């Protein structure tokens, strides 16, 4: 049994039990996204500072850039989360985020060096790590060694050796390590993949999957000149220049380029769908548009999965010169295709093939949205959609909406696990398997030929 499957059979609250309990809590959950949101929403309990309540958790955040700020915002909506310490080597982000948190009412200290934070902050329960990828292992390992549970952003690392060290430290310390592949806790994805595709098998054999993340051209990131970091400090923390510090994603020392940065979210879904890891990959790509950066600005890959049903294939592309189609994933089976995106407006339907068995039983159970309800002209998505055309085309909207920040459910899962009430949806071992699959895409571009995966490559 793969670790993907194991996550669904644990006795604690995993994705499936979450769905079941949410369904019990709100009988009309599957028919109404609002019902789901209300069922899972909890009243705010602002104990931001002062004595710690029984359910309160003291939390530190290391890395306060774009994603650190997104995670702080999402975690602020979770009762019992108290930010006590934040850390960033860049004074600009330290001041910005520390100031905002203090204004909100958190009693928070700011640090430049994570080692200083760990030395001073003895009563932290958990740390969120959102630095560039190359620092994840060093920081997450130090946090776990210091007795903290860790939520670390994806990609786990830009090197498999470092990613492996995270799994080993997690095992040695017994602390929790959740990696930020947040779709794994998103109720829309759990419903689509665990319930509709894996449990109900509504698509039949999923022979192919597709994923893309396309972005418009963008200039390199700049910085306010008054907050430029001097060279001595950049050297101390391992950054070659201010440009590389800001645009780390494009340089081999710090990250894996767009295929790793963006693809890691979506390539992760292929092994979830098929319950196994890929057996081979081919890829092409290059640095064909931008000048002076190191990583490929476009990559097109095909992964092969040898499943018990036969060989299935997944195509994935990342383009940084056009936003055409944005980002979404598609799972194509012999009886239908499911299109989904983290942003529902980009993908939110299941299409039935004309020859497929009826899906009415799933509509009755609330697992699919009945077509008639879906085409009420009051919903923006369906304005001007002809009832008959929609029904004949066999497009069934997914019944669940996520009315909270996209990262919140994954953080909730982490904090519930810290409290001993849940099992992690993306522990280090699972994310390691994804890292093996994702990082190989860059190797395959460089090799210019099909590369095989050995099953033991996915094990630590």
Chain residues binding ligand NAD by CB under 6 A are: 62-68, 87-90, 93, 114, 130-133, 135, 153-155, 180, 182, 237, 261
Closest distance of CB 388 from ligand NAD, Å: 39
Nearest to 306 by CA among 330, 275, 283: 275
Closest distance of CB 157 from ligand NAD, Å: 9
Beta bridge partners of 374: none
Closest distance of CB 23 from ligand NAD, Å: 27
Cis status of the peptide bond prior to 247, with omega within 30 of 0: no
Comparison of 93 and 149: residue with beta carbon closer to ligand NAD:
93
Closest distance of CB 77 from ligand NAD, Å: 16
Comparison of 29 and 139: residue with beta carbon closer to ligand NAD:
139
DSSP state of 190: I
Comparison of 25 and 66: residue with beta carbon closer to ligand NAD:
66
Closest distance of CB 85 from ligand NAD, Å: 12
Q: How far apart are CA 101 and CA 405, in angstroms?
A: 18
DSSP state of 422: B
Q: How far apart are CA 445 and CA 254, in angstroms?
A: 19
Residue number with the smallest Cβ distance to ligand NAD: 65
DSSP state of 320: S
Q: How far apart are CA 266 and CA 150, in angstroms?
A: 22
Residues 6+ apart with CB under 8 A from 398: 188, 191, 192, 340, 344, 348, 349, 350, 368, 369
Q: How far apart are CA 165 and CA 317, in angstroms?
A: 29
Comparison of 152 and 206: residue with beta carbon closer to ligand NAD:
152
How far lies 345's CA from each of 24, 139, 341, in Å?
A: 27, 36, 8
Closest distance of CB 234 from ligand NAD, Å: 10
Comparison of 181 and 395: residue with beta carbon closer to ligand NAD:
181
Comparison of 87 and 177: residue with beta carbon closer to ligand NAD:
87
Q: How far apart are CA 93 and CA 106, in angstroms?
A: 17
Q: How many CB atoms lie within 10 A of CB 418?
A: 21
Q: How far apart are CA 160 and CA 146, in angstroms?
A: 23
Q: What are the tokens at 60?
A: 């530190």
Comparison of 26 and 258: residue with beta carbon closer to ligand NAD:
258
Closest distance of CB 314 from ligand NAD, Å: 20
Closest distance of CB 166 from ligand NAD, Å: 13
Comparison of 70 and 387: residue with beta carbon closer to ligand NAD:
70
């Amino acid at each position: 049994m793969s670790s993907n499957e194991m996550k669904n059979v644990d006795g604690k609250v995993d994705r499936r039990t979450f769905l079941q309990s949410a369904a019990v809590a709100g009988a009309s959950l599957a028919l109404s996204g609002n019902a789901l949101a209300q069922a899972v929403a909890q009243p705010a309990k602002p104990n931001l500072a002062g004595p710690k309540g029984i359910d309160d958790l003291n939390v530190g955040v290391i890395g306060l850039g774009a994603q650190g700020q997104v995670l702080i915002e999402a975690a602020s909506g979770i009762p019992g989360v108290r930010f006590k310490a934040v850390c960033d080597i860049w004074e600009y982000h330290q001041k910005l985020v520390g100031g905002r948190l203090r204004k909100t009412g958190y009693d928070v200290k700011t640090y430049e060096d994570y080692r200083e934070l760990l030395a001073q902050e003895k009563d932290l329960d958990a740390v969120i790590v959102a630095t560039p990828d190359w620092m994840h292992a060093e920081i997450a390992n130090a946090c776990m060694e210091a007795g903290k549970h860790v939520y670390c952003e994806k990609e786990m690392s830009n090197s498999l050796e470092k990613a492996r060290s995270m799994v080993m430290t997690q095992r040695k310390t017994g602390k929790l390590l959740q990696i930020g592949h947040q779709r794994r806790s998103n109720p829309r994805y759990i419903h689509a993949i665990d319930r509709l595709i894996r449990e109900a098998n509504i698509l039949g054999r999923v022979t192919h999957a597709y994923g893309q993340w396309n972005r418009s051209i963008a200039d390199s990131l700049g910085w306010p000149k008054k907050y430029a970091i001097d060279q001595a400090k950049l050297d101390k923390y391992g950054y070659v220049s201010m440009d590389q510090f800001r645009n780390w994603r494009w340089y081999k020392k710090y990250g894996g380029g767009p295929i790793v940065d963006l693809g890691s979210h979506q390539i992760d879904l292929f092994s979830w769908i098929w319950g196994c890891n890929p057996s081979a990959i081919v890829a092409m790509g290059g640095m064909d548009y931008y000048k002076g950066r190191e990583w490929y600005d476009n990559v097109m890959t095909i992964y092969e999965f040898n499943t018990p049903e036969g060989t299935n294939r997944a195509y994935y592309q990342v383009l940084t010169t056009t936003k055409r189609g944005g980002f979404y994933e598609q799972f194509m089976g012999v009886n239908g295709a499911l299109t989904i995106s983290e942003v529902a407006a980009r993908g939110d339907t299941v299409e039935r093939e004309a020859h497929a068995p009826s899906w009415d039983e799933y509509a009755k159970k609330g697992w699919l949205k009945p077509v008639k309800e879906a085409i009420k002209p009051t919903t923006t998505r369906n304005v001007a959609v002809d009832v008959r055309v929609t029904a004949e085309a066999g497009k069934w909207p997914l019944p669940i909406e996520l009315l909270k920040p996209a990262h919140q459910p994954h953080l909730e899962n982490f904090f519930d696990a810290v409290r001993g009430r849940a099992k992690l949806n993306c522990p280090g071992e699972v994310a390691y398997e994804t890292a093996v699959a994702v990082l190989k895409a860059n190797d395959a571009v460089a090799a210019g030929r099909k590369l095989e995966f050995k099953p033991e490559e996915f094990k630590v």
